[in-house]
A and B are shown apart, each in its own frame.
Chain A
Amino acid sequence: MTTNDMPRWATGIVLPILNLLSALLVTALVIHLLGENPVESMQILINSAVVNPEGLAYTLFYASTFVFTGLAVSVAMQAGLFNIGAEGQMYLGGLGITLAMLAFDATLPWFLLIPAGMIGAALFGALWAFVPGYLQAKRGSHIVVTTIMFNFIAASLMNFVIVRFLIPPGEQNTASRVFSAGAELPRLSDWLPWLGDTPLNISLFLAIVALAVYGVMVSRSSWGYKLRATGLNKHAAHYAGVKISTTIIVTMLISGALAGLGAVNSMMGSTHYLSLNFVGGAGFIGIAIALMGRQHPVGIFLSALLFGALTQGGFDLSLEKPNIPPEMVILIQGLIILFCGAMEYLYAPALIKLIKGKQA
């Protein structure tokens, strides 16, 4: 037996769980070396991320953003494209929202404002992904390097745009003006008061809709078939009549639009203005989510929840434990990508032996 013909429960469930446990074990070791109690830390983390209703609401709030960046990376991965640029695409998506809001939030009612913001986000995210997609399709430039460059360009560009054009006169804070109340997404705590004063909003349902649409489009539509064929074997797909360059460009447009939509939750749902570096690594978390969720909608949802819980729980943990700064979460992310992405088959040989032993 090789890794390819292992049963689906083994590659889809057992291996990811073993990998995740390994990442957490290394994290526990680091926490121990920092002089804190790993078990106690884990209890604080779980308690403040899942058990406490307000914490759970925050976990779901972060997860709503991560679903979009995770989907963005996943859809590109299906076509064999490694989109590292979700960070920059989401940043530009934020600019799209801001421009739409600055133009319309005084005149349009809320039920038109929210779609306008979403269109702005998707449009700008897609545009930012278009150039790397086009260069990959037509010029063969490696998408990994171009999307990394576009992240850097986005950071400088947004710095320039915010400082030069968006800071309201007389303000010191490097951020745009606050949008009008009509641009605020309805919060779930309006209907469920026990969630407390949390930014969890209807984006959660948008994220679930996006997951369902992704699932149907990728595995049930003819477009999804072309997409996956391109990812599995470009030459075979081309021979079967798939236009490779069109598929690559369209996929990157969709990927960028999804990453851009990630900004809707964090800006229209929570802060209501554009600030410097508001993305804060959500695009990179998207890479981890896509890898851990194996580009499957259910997997993406579960991984987004996990990373949402880590973000929320890690924040509370850093408040309670002086030796654990909030940056610990970045380390955990990296370890999860390392174990679940790069070393995903670390335990495969042992597992194969175990399965074979049972069969014999």
Chain B
Amino acid sequence: MSFEDLHLGSIVVSTVRNAPVLIFAAMAGLFAERSGVIDIGLEGKILASAFVSAAVAFTTQNPWYGILAGIAVSVAIALLQGCIAITQKGNQLVAGIAINITMSGLTFVVAQYFFQQGGRTPDLGEARLSEIVLPGSAAVADVPVIGWIWTQLLGGHTVLVYLAFALVPLVHWVLYHTRFGLRLRACGENPHAADAAGVSVERTRYAAMLIAGILCSFSGAYLAIVQSGFFLRDMSAGAGYLALTAMVFGNWRPFYTFLGCLMFGFFGAVQIQLEGVDLPVVGRIPGALIQMVPYVVTVIVLAGLMAKSVAPKAIGVPFVKSR
């Protein structure tokens, strides 16, 4: 492979395909954290939903049942997290980390018990979501540029990809243009003021966790029944943490968070493309080093060298009603 073999087009397409895992998780985190609950447990929820949706989709041979089961599990975990963070006023960071570690162990143990394949589920085969072929694809397929855009960039994806991209403006609208969004943000910025205004902080935060659970489950389902077609041990590989940092990168705002997700998706795509390619000047870059790039970029962003991010003020603080 040489430098000319770097297909810009395929990098763009795989960026689009990599991003939904992060977008769903990041939008989930956005709801939780804007309401004032730190959601470091995204990783665990992604993993749990990935396993359950793969297992159920395989068993029933129907991807939609898989997605539904994934939602149920992810919501249950999110509500447990909410219970710890909101009702018990426990340490939210610790709760998230505990969920991540527990799910890493539990998914393997259960997958091994049911399928006996080293913590893997069998290949889903026909039980994967089918790709949507846009009308007229055959007609324009041979037209340069337009054919590529229509069949590969815009078409040829599963429903979840379109859902992920549609989610961004939707989340923006909910957060900034609905009464619920206003209350949600108030709970994250100044819960006492929200409380004084008659908003139930507890109920709002539970609602936020519920939404976070649903959105996060799509991330796992996408990973298992769209991208790979099976569940593998620890297959989320830090996607939850990356989504979290995309959110920090995006200043807890939907559109900028989305850009962060695209950036990470892009680096993921480039890493695969650059494997074993001789670049001018620098020569061959080992995959391990390219793998490092998004994390290093994140640290630089966190250091405030590219942008200063400001978290919701009441984040991580349990709300105690003043008497």
Tell me the minimal C-beta distance from A18 to chain B in angstroms: 14
- Which bracket fits the contact residues of A? 35 or more
Tell me the minimal C-beta distance from A95 to chain B in angstroms: 14
Please give, as numbers and ranges, the residues of chain A lying within 8 Å of B3 by CB-CB distance: none
CB atoms of B102 and A341 under 8 A apart: no
Distance between Cα atoms of A142 and B94 in the complex (Å): 15
Find residues 2-35 in chain A having any chain B CB closer than 8 Å to their own CB. 30, 34
Find residues 75-101 in chain B having any chain A CB closer than 8 Å to their own CB. 84, 88, 90-95, 97-101
Task: Let me know if A146 is at the binding interface, CB within 8 A.
Answer: yes
Find residues 272-296 in chain B having any chain A CB closer than 8 Å to their own CB. 286, 288-289, 291-292, 295-296
Task: Let me know if B158 is at the binding interface, CB within 8 A.
Answer: no
> CB-nearest residue of chain A relative to B301?
A141
Please give, as numbers and ranges, the residues of chain B lying within 8 Å of A332 by CB-CB distance: 105
Task: Let me know if A150 is at the binding interface, CB within 8 A.
Answer: yes
Find residues 122-154 in chain A having any chain B CB closer than 8 Å to their own CB. 131, 135, 139-142, 144-146, 148-150, 152-153
> CB-nearest residue of chain B relative to A142?
B302
> CB-nearest residue of chain B relative to A324?
B109
Stretch from B51-59, B192-200, B207-215, B241-249 forming part of the interface with A = B241-249
Known: A146-B302, A153-B296, A338-B95. A333 touches B105 (CB 8 A): yes
CB atoms of B289 and A160 under 8 A apart: yes
Tell me the minimal C-beta distance from B95 to chain A in angstroms: 4
CB atoms of A342 and B95 under 8 A apart: yes
CB atoms of B105 and A341 under 8 A apart: no
CB atoms of A334 and B105 under 8 A apart: yes
Task: Let me know if A157 is at the binding interface, CB within 8 A.
Answer: yes
Please give, as numbers and ranges, the residues of chain A lying within 8 Å of B103 by CB-CB distance: 334
Most buried by A among B99, B295, B298: B295
Does more than half of chain A's interface fall in helix, strand or loop, or is it mixed? helix
Please give, as numbers and ranges, the residues of chain B lying within 8 Å of A146 by CB-CB distance: 299, 302
CB atoms of A149 and B102 under 8 A apart: no
Find residues 231-258 in chain B having any chain A CB closer than 8 Å to their own CB. 233, 238, 241, 244-245, 248
> CB-nearest residue of chain A relative to B297?
A149
Task: Let me know if B303 is at the binding interface, CB within 8 A.
Answer: yes
Does more than half of chain B's interface fall in helix, strand or loop, or is it mixed? helix
Distance between Cα atoms of A344 and B119 in the complex (Å): 31
**A331 in complex: contacting residue of B109, B119, B238, B303, CB < 8 Å:** B109
A-B pair count, CB < 8 Å, reads 135
Q: Size of chain B's interface in residues, with CB distance under 8 A?
A: 43
Distance between Cα atoms of A119 and B71 in the complex (Å): 50
Task: Let me know if B304 is at the binding interface, CB within 8 A.
Answer: yes
Tell me the minimal C-beta distance from B129 to chain A in angstroms: 29
Tell me the minimal C-beta distance from B316 to chain A in angstroms: 10
Task: Let me know if A197 is at the binding interface, CB within 8 A.
Answer: no
CB atoms of B104 and A330 under 8 A apart: yes
Distance between Cα atoms of A145 and B240 in the complex (Å): 12
Distance between Cα atoms of A37 and B157 in the complex (Å): 47
Please give, as numbers and ranges, the residues of chain A lying within 8 Å of B93 by CB-CB distance: 82, 144
CB atoms of A149 and B105 under 8 A apart: no
> CB-nearest residue of chain B relative to A281?
B101
CB atoms of B108 and A330 under 8 A apart: yes
CB atoms of A343 and B88 under 8 A apart: yes
CB atoms of A140 and B88 under 8 A apart: no
User: Other CB < 8 Å A-B pairs besides A140-B304, A141-B302, A343-B84, 7 of them?
Assistant: A135-B303, A153-B292, A156-B292, A164-B286, A327-B109, A342-B92, A346-B88
9 shortest interchain CB distances as A-B pairs: A334-B102, A331-B105, A330-B105, A334-B101, A342-B95, A338-B98, A160-B288, A337-B98, A341-B94
Q: Give chain A's interface residues, CB within 8 Å of chain B.
A: 30, 34, 82, 84, 131, 135, 139-142, 144-146, 148-150, 152-153, 156-157, 159-160, 163-164, 284, 287, 291, 323-325, 327-335, 337-338, 341-346
21 contacts between A and B (CB under 8 A): A135-B299, A135-B303, A141-B304, A145-B245, A153-B296, A153-B299, A157-B288, A159-B288, A164-B286, A327-B109, A330-B105, A331-B105, A331-B109, A333-B105, A334-B101, A335-B102, A337-B94, A338-B98, A341-B94, A343-B95, A345-B90
